[in-house]
Amino acid sequence: MEETMYKKIIVPIEMGTVERGERAFRKAATLLDAGGEIILLNVVQDVPTYIAVDLPAELIDNAIDDGRAQLEQLRLKTGIPAKVEIGRGPPAHGILAAAEAHHADLIIIASHVPDFSNYFIGATADRVVRHAKCSVLVDR
């Protein structure tokens, strides 16, 4: 049986679980077609304005810079070529928007059985699976 290869793979990585994301990134490299492209994506959530009033103005900018630095570091560590991209907004929406913008044919999202403490990670993967227009691989 011939294994399907993909031309554009989105690998969303959450900053709190970079090691889990690294596994998904390495898996993406094995599924990538010759001449294909992997996009490492981190989506920075905007802070609601009623909360933002009490937070430093540079908080979001720092999160964007930190996300970019961690993804660049992951790319260097693995030696896997990839484009690094930072999105903003709700995670599932940012992942789906990036997949559409890049005409991705696969999203590999790291997830695990959600419990109360990581409920949103499970919810994000669930939302991506339900609404993506391309194949989604949930890596547990």
Range of the domain at 48: 6-139
Look at the chain and report how many structural domains it folds into.
Answer: 1
CATH code for the domain of 41: 3.40.50.620
Identity of residue 95: I
Which tens digit of pLDDT belongs to each residue from 92-138?
999 999 999 999 999 999 876 655 545 555 678 888 988 999 999 98
- In three-state secondary structure terms, 3 is coil
Identify whether 120 is part of a domain.
Answer: yes
Cα 51 to the chain's mean position, in Å? Answer: 25
Identify whether 48 is part of a domain.
Answer: yes
Identify whether 1 is part of a domain.
Answer: no
Identify whether 122 is part of a domain.
Answer: yes
Which tens digit of pLDDT belongs to each residue from 23-67?
999 999 999 999 999 999 999 987 777 776 777 778 888 999 999
Beta pairing class for 6-12 and 83-88: unpaired
Other CB atoms closer than 10 Å to residue 35's CB: what's the count? 6
Alpha helices in 1-140 (DSSP H): 18-31, 49-52, 59-78, 91-101, 119-131
Identify whether 31 is part of a domain.
Answer: yes
